[in-house]
Copies of this chain bind each other. A is one copy, B any other.
Amino acid sequence: MAARRAVEQELTRQMIIDVAHELFVEEGYQNVSMRKIARSLGYSHGAIYYHFKNKADLLTAMVDQDFAMINNEIDKLDHLNMKNEEKLRQLLLGYIQFGVNHKHHYEVMFMIRDKEVNSHTMESPNKSYYRFSKKVAELTNNQLPVTVIWSVFLMLHGFVAQYCRTDQSYENIRGLAETHVHLILRAINN
């Protein structure tokens, strides 16, 4: 019956992205249908196609947003007033904190594996890693070989990837995260 809705309850791209985000990570990109997203929003599936070209387009928009968040997080460090050693600790701990606090985002960003996902979607993680590694290099006075920086990243990734699959809050595992970062710092400080 009812076709268009009153303007104060119109669907937006952001509403769709938010709902899809939760579903994608809880159940996996493949297991979430456009119909399921729509049902979850209380709209019909056709409506989503008014806002996004198709399912992959929705994912791309979502991932772009997520990477903007993490890049932003890295840039925040510049305005902090502490010495490099402490900034580095903050960067590493902040990475874990971001990952654990935004499990959905992190998983979508770094852990979706799917043929359908176009190559554009794969560029963002690379650009984001580049930003991260430049910052680590800077904060260590360019003393670290690139392979070591890469290892550091993988160590962080391992932590976050694991806790993405649990319901633990960051507060809950802060101690473990600090141990982890402490170990990483010990590994790279001569």
Binding site for B on A (CB under 8 A): 27-28, 30-31, 113-115, 147-148, 150-152, 154-159, 161-162, 165, 175-176, 179-180, 183-184, 186-188
Q: Are A115 and B27 in contact (CB under 8 A)?
A: yes
A161 closest partner in B (C-beta):
B161
Q: How far is the CB of A142 from chain B (nearest CB, A)?
A: 18
CB of A125, distance to nearest CB on chain B (Å): 10
A111–chain B nearest beta-carbon distance, Å: 8
Q: Closest B-chain residue to A31, C-beta based?
A: B30
Partner of A176, one of B147, B152, B183, B188: B147
Q: Evaluate contact between A183 and B151: CB separation under 8 angstroms.
A: yes
Residues in chain B near residue A162, CB distance under 8 A: 154, 157
Residues of B within 8 A of A151 (CB): 159, 176, 179-180, 183
* Closest B residue by C-beta to A114: B28
Given contacts A31-B30, A154-B159, A155-B154, contact A183 B187 (CB under 8 A): yes
Name the B residues within 8 Å of A161 (CB-CB). 157-158, 161
Q: Which 8 A/B pairs are nearest by Cβ-Cβ distance? A: A158-B158, A187-B187, A154-B158, A183-B187, A157-B158, A30-B30, A155-B155, A151-B180
A150 touches B176 (CB 8 A): yes
Beyond the given pairs A147-B179, A155-B155, A187-B187, 10 more chain A to chain B contacts, judged by CB atoms under 8 angstroms and listed by A's residue number, are A28-B30, A28-B114, A151-B179, A152-B183, A154-B155, A154-B180, A156-B158, A157-B158, A161-B161, A186-B186
Chain B residues lying within 8 Å of A114, measured Cβ to Cβ, are: 28, 31
Complex CA gap A148/B187 in Å reads 13
Instruction: Please tell me if the beta carbons of A148 and B183 are within 8 angstroms of each other in the complex.
Output: yes
**Listed residue (A115, A150, A180) with the most chain B CB atoms within 10 angstroms of its CB:** A180
